[in-house]
Amino acid sequence: MNAFQVCLWVFAGVCALCWVLSVLTREYSWVDRIWSLVPVAYVGIFAGFAGFADARLDVLFVLVVLWGARLTFNFARKGGYARGGEDYRWVVLRGKMAPWQFQVFNFFFITIYQNAILLLITLPAWTALENRTAFGAGDVVVAVLFLACLVGETVADQQQWTFHQWKKRESAAGRVPDPRFLQTGLFRFSRHPNFFFEQAQWWLVFGFGAIAFGGVPWTIAGAVLLTLLFVGSTIFTESITRGRYPEYAEYQKRTSPVVPWLPRRVAVQ
């Protein structure tokens, strides 16, 4: 059995586990709970099949471990692993669908499609395993950029965490938080800087595979599909936010959606 086949077995097992748990618990964030764990396992399998003796795969594995540790910590402190820690967007979506429709959505999209993306984004490691070449300057550049994006996402998540803790304290004290959503720090330059850095890291993972391959292998599909997933998620999330906070529309006008950029000037009505 080769490394890819082992990963397929892991994929099948994780899909089955997530689907069964969602049906039994009526919570639909089980893929979210394994999101930061399974890619680490996949990349570890590819690095392990090289005997942890390939510099590119070893560096890639360490970087993905750091990615997973950061994401796990952030997800845990927000209560994602606690009972009832379901993504609020699934609650909203269930209200828009018949029960049978949501169960179909749960099986094919939440469970299978999202898990497929988790496998696909790690397949550049398979490319690197199949095309083992010397670790070079290009790999160093990609690794440094990955670490920079990791720091950027950590900062964005901390700013968001600090804001929401302040917001809770204001509400607990009987005051109406002002502003009602984060607009400062990195969020002054992007409405979703954490989304930007998250996607960038997996494009850089693809970069390792492209360097090993010496071109553009088909494993670019993972980064492309992840980006499309984030596009859909961003649109849905912002539709919910606009419904809660009408002033969010002004923030949208002056602030870049994802890629950090200087705020636009908005004419005063």
Domain regions of the chain by residue span: 3-254
Q: How far apart are CA 94 and CA 75, in angstroms?
A: 22
pLDDT tens, position by position, 247-266: 999 999 999 999 999 999 86
DSSP single-letter state for residue 133: -
* Per-residue pLDDT tens digits for 137-192: 999 999 999 999 999 999 999 999 999 999 999 999 999 899 999 999 999 999 99
**Confidence band for 267, pLDDT divided at 50, 70 and 90:** low
pLDDT tens for 190-204 read 999 999 999 999 999
78-105 confidence digits (pLDDT tens): 998 988 777 778 888 888 889 899 999 9
Distance CA 181, CA 185 (A): 12
Q: What is the value of pTM for the model shown?
A: 0.93
Q: Render pLDDT for 99-141 as a digit per residue (tens, 0 to 9).
A: 899 999 999 999 999 999 999 999 999 999 999 999 999 999 9
- Report the C-alpha gap between 59 and 251 in whole angstroms: 39
Contacts for 149 with CB less than 8 Å, ≥ 6 apart: 197, 200, 201, 204
